[in-house]
Amino acid sequence: MEKPFILHMLTTAKNLSPFDVNMAMDAGWISAIPYINVEPSEVRGLVQDAIFSRSPKGLLRTAIFIGGRETKQAMDMLKMAKNSMVPPFEVSVFADPSGAFTTAAGMVAAVEKELAEKFDTTLEGKNVIALGGTGPVGQAAAVIAAQAGAKVRIIGRQLDKAERTAELCSEEFGDGKIMVLAGADADKAEYMKTADVVFATGAAGIELLSTELISKAAQLKVAADVNAVPPAGIAGIDAFDNGKPLAGSTSGAVGIGALAIGNIKYQAQSRLLKRMLESDQPLFLHFEHAFEVAREFIKSTK
């Protein structure tokens, strides 16, 4: 009898995300086993318990998902999990803390689509502003956009925190191959004058960009908001908007709402979960792979 598909789901939080459990089961994992309040130091032991309990063939039906709340912690746990494998005893591992990696991938891929279709251009060389960008989604989106060639600036209420986050994105997540800058929220009006793209990735229910600032953004092309809770993070954007002209824009900018982004996020997460099911080699998946499959999904809908 063939072994059942088992996904071991690790989180440092006190609860495992029901969203992630539903996604895993719908993707075809027969069992989604939760491990809560996991300390990073426990990852090695948990991984090796999983890999040594099955034959290499049985391990093709075994994988690990890493949730939690923090991007760096999740990436560190992913690296630790990878380093805990003992070939041929290996399993796939997928990190997506708070859904941030797949959400960011969906947002950047959606922006890329609008730039191509509405403005016949790419992210290469574009000025990108990540409002409320010190959180998990903002961090991942900043790195993805910078890797695609954009000039990215993370904006936060506290400049020192924004600077620490920008350095983390550049050095830790970007391996020193990209440069993400920082800025203070108090100066966002100045940054908006030259912004081509805006990501709103702050806390739910807080307006980060007003109609007044939108009207003064002379070269704004696309504004994307991951906030589905009123008021919108960007004035004039509805959660269902998907390339709709942005109210108040004098530059012909278009808006992308949270539910339009969420559809791509859903597809990205589902496809990566299924990729682990189908692969005959161990995979180690994070925000870069999420962006890859988000792009694939958008391409498939054309």
Rounded (5°) CA angle 280-84-169: 90
- For the chain, the farthest-separated pair of C-alpha atoms sits apart, in whole angstroms, at 66
| pTM, entire model | 0.96
Q: How far apart are alpha carbons 266 and 52 in whole angstroms?
A: 32
Q: How many CA atoms lie within 13 A of 11 on its CB side?
A: 21
- Tell me if 239 sits within 8 A of 228, measured CB to CB: yes
**pLDDT higher than 80, residue 1:** no
The CB density around residue 69, as the number of other CB atoms within 10 Å, is 14
Give Cα 29 distance to the centre of its chain: 22
Q: Which pLDDT band, with edges at 50, 70 and 90, does 105 fall under?
A: very high
Q: Which pLDDT band, with edges at 50, 70 and 90, does 302 fall under?
A: confident
Mean pLDDT computed over 265-292: 97
Q: Which pLDDT band, with edges at 50, 70 and 90, does 218 fall under?
A: very high
Residue 30, both tokens = 């027969």
Q: Which pLDDT band, with edges at 50, 70 and 90, does 2 fall under?
A: confident
